[in-house]
Amino acid sequence: MRITGGMLRGRKIKTRRNSSTRPLLSRLRKSLFDIIGDEIREASFLDLYAGSGAVGIEALSRGAKRVVFVEKKILSVKIIEENLTSCRLFSQSKIWRKDVLTFLSFLLKREKFDFIFIAPPYYREMQDKTLDIVEAVNIEKTEIIVQHSPNENVNFTRKNMKIIKQRKYGDTILTFLRRADESH
């Protein structure tokens, strides 16, 4: 897999693909960051269910100031570490080897992020549980991006969040949300 833009464009990174990981394809990562645009520059980015770290590394390549990765699988964490080392991005990142659902509330109460990327394994209903935690914490000026399958019933009807855009790419949908009282 290669980085699609920014200072590391074209750089190969390692991935781990099995039944529980599904790296975001290069063309989808490019589309994601084309939508985000220049807002990524100097931004803080939270990559949940980070897998190989490809999305967070892409954010750093495109100018994010800091990326925090949360991933519970040790093999995936090792791949993120190898990728950050080979790309010389460790100083701009932090990896938490934790379960997202048990750790996220703690993290969001201590750190603020401009972007939160949620990409759990499909068909495990983890998007809703993760959004419930994000919604319960007072997040301001944060754009939440959820990767999901069109065959999943993710609850986007929420008290404190609203959809600002949604894009479908084959069997993947990217849904962008903000707090309901914020405009884009």
Share of the chain above pLDDT 70, in %: 93
Q: Where does the chain show beta strands of DSSP type E?
A: 44-48, 66-70, 93-96, 115-118, 143-148, 161-169, 172-179
CA 71, chain centre distance (Å): 11
* CATH node for 6-179: 3.40.50.150
Instruction: Kindly report, residue by residue over 55-77, the tens digit of the pLDDT.
Output: 999 999 999 999 999 999 999 99
> How is the chain split into domains, by residue range?
6-179
Residue 23 has pLDDT above 90, yes or no: no
Instruction: Match 């990409």 to its residue by tokens.
Output: 119
In the DSSP assignment, the letter for residue 40 is: G
Helix residue ranges, H only, 37-159: 54-61, 74-87, 100-110, 126-136
Q: What region, left, alpha or beta, does residue 37 occupy, with left being phi > 0 and alpha being psi -120 to 50 degrees? A: left
pTM for this predicted structure: 0.91
Cβ–Cβ < 8 Å for 95, 67: no
Sheet of strand 93-96, all strands in order from the earlier edge strand to the far edge:
93-96, 66-70, 44-48, 115-118, 143-148, 172-179, 161-169
